[in-house]
Amino acid sequence: MNSPHYILLPVSSAFIALSLACAFFLNFLPWGAWIGVPDFVALVLVFWSIHQPRKVGIGVAFAMGLLMDVHDAIHLGENALAYTLLSYFAITIHRRVLWFNPLTQSLHVLPLFLFVQATQVVVRMLVAPDAQFPGILYFLESFVTTLLWPVATWLLLAPQRRAVDKDDTRPI
């Protein structure tokens, strides 16, 4: 399937903030304790850290992590640390990832999502010595989040796509 190459319009900061707020509210839904439920905040943070690293960086990731820590009522800083590292590594690989189509990009972001979950587990086990390893199914969340990467890419880039005009008199 060959898709046309679009010239993307500049992204609005308001749209970035809206997408992060929507992801945050999706994480509010009462399915948080279920196995395999994606982390929407991590998904949107990685997306914007890869596509707009100058607008969404480590500071935004830290703030979103603190908000998620308060929402989850867990140790303050657990998600903040994980999301900060996630954003840092996403920014590190952003030039390479953008060369690929969304399906191949999902293979590049899967290790990032697995790393975030591993960081959260390690922090929980270090802070609370009586905490037990949650099991291998705990990491199913990363795979489900990765499966949503092409959908997130299509949705979050939609407002930036120009209409494909058939006007042959314009140079662009």
Nearest 5°: the CA angle 50, 52, 54 is 115
Indicate the number of domains in the chain: 1
Q: Where are the alpha helices (DSSP H) in the chain?
A: 13-28, 40-51, 58-72, 78-97, 102-127, 140-147, 149-157
Classify residue 104: in a domain, yes or no.
yes
Query: HSE (CB half, 13 Å, CA atoms) of 49?
Result: 26
The predicted structure's pLDDT at residue 165:
58
- Rounded Cα distance between 113 and 23, Å, is 15
Classify residue 3: in a domain, yes or no.
no
- Higher pLDDT: 111 or 136? It is 111
The predicted structure's pLDDT at residue 135:
82
Classify residue 5: in a domain, yes or no.
no
The predicted structure's pLDDT at residue 48:
94
CA 151 to chain centre: 12
Classify residue 142: in a domain, yes or no.
yes
State pLDDT tens for residues 40-61: 999 999 999 999 999 998 999 9
Classify residue 73: in a domain, yes or no.
yes
Classify residue 166: in a domain, yes or no.
no
The predicted structure's pLDDT at residue 2:
44
Structural domain boundaries enclosing 42? 13-160
Are 134 and 28 in contact, with CB atoms under 8 Å apart? Answer: no
C-alpha distances in Å from residue 63, one per residue of 6, 51, 96: 32, 19, 26
* Phi/psi of residue 161, nearest 5 degrees: -75, 135
Classify residue 72: in a domain, yes or no.
yes
Give mean pLDDT, residues 159-172: 65
Classify residue 170: in a domain, yes or no.
no
What pTM was computed for the model?
A: 0.85
State pLDDT tens for residues 61-114: 999 999 988 887 777 788 899 999 999 999 999 899 889 999 999 999 999 999
Model confidence band, residue 167 (pLDDT cutoffs 50, 70, 90): low
State pLDDT tens for residues 108-125: 999 999 999 999 888 888
In 3D space, the residue among 117, 152, 143, 153 whose CA is nearest the CA of residue 36 turns out to be 143
